[in-house]
Amino acid sequence: MSVVKRLKFAPFYLFSLLPFWIIFGLAEIAYLILYKLIQYRKKIVFQNFKNSFPDKSEDEINIEIKKFYRHFCQVFLESVKLLTIHPKKIKKRFCFKNIELLDELYNNDKSIILYGAHLGNWEWMTSLPLQTKYKMYSFYQKQSNAYFNDFMIHARERFGNLCIESQSGFKTLLNNSKQKKLTLTYVVGDQSPMSNSSMHWTNFLNQDTAFLVGADRMAKKCNQQLLYPFTTQTVKGNYEIEFKIIPMDSDIEPIKIYAELLEKNIQTQPELWLWSHRRWKRKRNE
C-alpha cells in the first residue's frame, strides 16, 4: 500500500484504528444526531415502512425505524474498519455459513454472480476473497465527489476485490467468460432502475416494484450461477451469510426469485435494509 494513499486517507485510517466498542459508542451519538436532530429522510423512511408493513401499528413502525437508524449509523462506521481490520477478525465477524458451496462451484469450473443488496453490511462483502479461490469483482456507481469515490474503491479493494464501474461491468464479465477465468462478481440489485433501463415488475413488500434487469441476463449470457447472500446479524457488528442458489433453468424468472429472497431476508430483520433510499420512486405507468 502506497504512502501517498495512507496520507490521503489519514483521517479514516486513524478512525479505523479505534476499537469496536468506541466505534459503536460514536454510532450511538451519530444516531441521536441523524434521527433526533437532523431527522435525515425521516418521512421517506416512515412511508417506506408503512407501505411495506401495513399490518404494523404506528408505534411498531417507529420502533423498527429507530432500530434501522441505529444500524445505519453502525454499518457506516463499521465499513471504515475495512482499512485496518485484521483478516482473522473480519472472518470472525463476517461469517459464511456454507462457504463450501463456493468450493463446489469452483471445482466444477462455474463462475458466480453474487446478487446482493443494501442489507446487513454490504461493504464487508468485499472481504470474501479471504475465503474463496475465486477472483472477485464488484460493480459500483461512480460518486460525484472524487475524494470519496477514491476512498470507497481503496477500502473495497483491500482484500483482493477489484472494483469495476457499472457501465463497464458487462463488458468485463463477458471478457472474463471468453477467457474462461473463474470469477465471482458482486452485484447489488435493489436500486431503483433508471427510466431508460430494462425493468421487471413484481409485488415486493406489498408494493408494485421495478427491479433492474441485468445480473440475471448477464448470468444467462455468460453461463454463470446466480447466488443470493441471505444475511442475518447475530449480534452487533457480527453477520452470518448463507448462500442461496437462484435456479437458472426454472420456469420462474431469476429476477423474481431474487426479489422473493430479498423480501424474506428483509422480513427476517427489517432494520438491516437501507430504508432511506427512494426505492419506489419509479411507477409502472410512467
Confidence of residue 276 (pLDDT cuts 50, 70, 90): very high
Question: Is the per-residue pLDDT at 285 higher than 80?
Answer: no
Backbone torsion region of residue 84, taken as left when φ is above 0, otherwise alpha when ψ lies between -120 and 50, otherwise beta: alpha
Collapsed DSSP state (helix, strand, coil) of residue 85: coil
Q: Enumerate residues 6+ apart whose C-beta is below 8 A from 1.
A: none
Cα gap 86→205, rounded to integer Å: 38
Q: What is the mean pLDDT of residues 163-192?
A: 90
- The answer to whether 74 touches 24, Cβ cutoff 8 Å, is yes
The answer to whether residue 280 sits within a structural domain is: no
Domain range for residue 265?
3-272
pLDDT higher than 80, residue 245: yes
List residues bridging with 264 in a β-sheet: none
Count of the separate structural domains present in the chain: 1
- Tell me the sheet residues that pair with 80: none
Label residue 205 by pLDDT band (50, 70, 90): very high
Q: Which residues contact 201 (CB under 8 A, 6 or more apart)?
A: 208, 209, 210, 211, 284
The CA distances from residue 277 to 84, 136, 145, 226, 231, in Å, are: 29, 27, 19, 25, 19
CB 116, CB 122: distance < 8 Å: yes
The backbone region for 109, taken as left when phi is positive above 0, alpha when psi lies in -120 to 50, beta otherwise, is: left
Q: Compare 174 and 271 and report the one with higher pLDDT.
A: 271
CA distances, 151 to each of 6, 19, 87, 143 (Å): 10, 21, 19, 10
pLDDT at 5 over 80: no
pLDDT at 226 over 90: yes
**Residue 117: inside a domain, yes or no?**
yes
Least confident residue range of 2-6, 152-156, 230-234 = 2-6
247-270 pLDDT, tens per residue?
A: 988 888 999 999 999 999 999 999
- Which alpha helices (H) appear in 108-195, and where do they start and end? 146-156, 169-178
Flag whether pLDDT at 233 surpasses 90.
Answer: yes
The string of pLDDT tens digits covering residues 79-133 is: 999 999 999 999 999 999 999 999 999 999 999 999 999 999 999 999 999 999 9
Angle at 147 between CA 145 and CA 152, to 5 degrees: 95
pLDDT at 217: 85
pLDDT reported for residue 196: 72
What is the per-residue pLDDT for 267? Answer: 97
pLDDT for the residue 193: 79
pTM, to two decimals? 0.94
Q: How confident is the model at residue 1 (pLDDT cuts 50, 70, 90)?
A: low
Per-residue confidence band for 2, with pLDDT thresholds at 50, 70 and 90: low
Stretch 145-164: mean pLDDT, rounded? 94
At 213, the amino acid letter reads V
Report if residue 50 sits inside a domain: yes
Which residues, listed in sequence order, are joined to residue 209 by a DSSP beta bridge?
A: 202
Instruction: Please determine, for residue 200, whether its predicted confidence score (pLDDT) is greater than 90.
Output: no
Is 103:131 a contact under the CB 8 Å cutoff? no
* Average pLDDT along the chain: 93
Amino acid 286: pLDDT: 66
More confident residue, 229 or 197: 229
pLDDT tens profile 8-62: 889 999 999 999 999 999 999 999 999 999 999 999 999 999 999 999 999 999 9
Stated length of the chain = 286
